[in-house]
Structure 1
């Protein structure tokens, strides 16, 4: 492999506590019991509005998704300040960079926020490209964004490893002909990751074995 495409939320950025905290905050007015991390992972799926319907036990009403999504991000953007890079993430970025190979960052998080956070954490220098969500509805599929990201890089998809925490990351990689490995530090349960048939790692450094 010549290039790694990293996911952000739940992969390089260990924000599961902020995600669960924000989710509990938006559903508190509905009278739902607070979830712990594993309870959230049991309900989580993509697109995220389907997970919300699971939690509520009913379809979302017209306009409800937009209200919940805005409220979630309001809470998340406060709680994320207590979050940090995943264990070993910085060593992984440095090791791959020192190998002379390239890496980039592709996320479904807002592009401007992503760029600012990567700079704040002093890791932006490791990436040949950083792409977040600049337009379109949040919570959708990553595949079309992966196509555009790959096309912007001087690398063949067969030479690319995608490292992410959700099955959507793996499907996006598969869509363009790249390889994928899934990390258990994010929002999807290990059981669901393993059932997908894609390689699964509990430590980011272990993903390198799939790149070499």
Structure 2
């Protein structure tokens, strides 16, 4: 591999506590018991509104999705301020930079928030390109509207690879979700999935791509 495309949320950025915390706060008025990380992964699916219906045990009412999604993001953007990088993120980025090969960042988080957050951690110099939602795609990220997600990141991956001007056969995508693997497969790149995000290990393994417990381990597949 000559280039790594990293995912942000749940991969380089360890935000599972913020995601679970925001979800618990949104569903607290419904009387639903709070989830821990493993409990949340057990009910999580994409699109996210389908996970919400799974949590509620019923279809969402008209306008309910929009209220839940807005509430989630309000809580998430507050709770994420307490989150940091994944434990070995800096080491993995530095190790790959030392090989002389390239790396970039592609996220479905909004670009106007992504860029400053990456710079805040002082790791932006590792990436030849940083793309978030609103730069390469008009599709939705966490929310995704009441439509099926999965194609969104694939479309953004196409544009990201094109902007980099590299052969996808030389690309390894490292992420934490099924979307990351689907996006890699869509462009003809390889994928490694990390277990620190929202998706359960069982679901990650179901795709037949390598699954790892650390970002350093992911580099072994490059």
Flag whether TM exceeds 0.5 (same fold): yes
Distance 1:63 1:137 in 2: 17
CA-based RMSD: 1.0
Distance 2:122 2:210 in 1: 29
What is the deviation of 1:90?
A: 0.3
What is the deviation of 1:118?
A: 0.2
With normalisation by structure 1, the TM-score equals 0.97
**What corresponds to 1:34 in structure 2?**
34
Deviation readout 1:48-87 (Å, 9 max, x if unpaired): 1111111111122222222211111110011011111001
**What corresponds to 2:197 in structure 1?**
186
What is the deviation of 1:154?
A: 2.0
**What corresponds to 1:196 in structure 2?**
207
Gaps of 5+ in 2: none
**What corresponds to 1:124 in structure 2?**
124
Gaps of 5+ in 1: none
How many pairs were matched up? 211
Deviation readout 1:83-115 (Å, 9 max, x if unpaired): 110011001111111211111111111111000
Distance 1:63 1:97 in 2: 46
What is the deviation of 1:178?
A: 0.3
Q: Give the secondary structure class of the aligned counterpart of 2:132.
A: strand
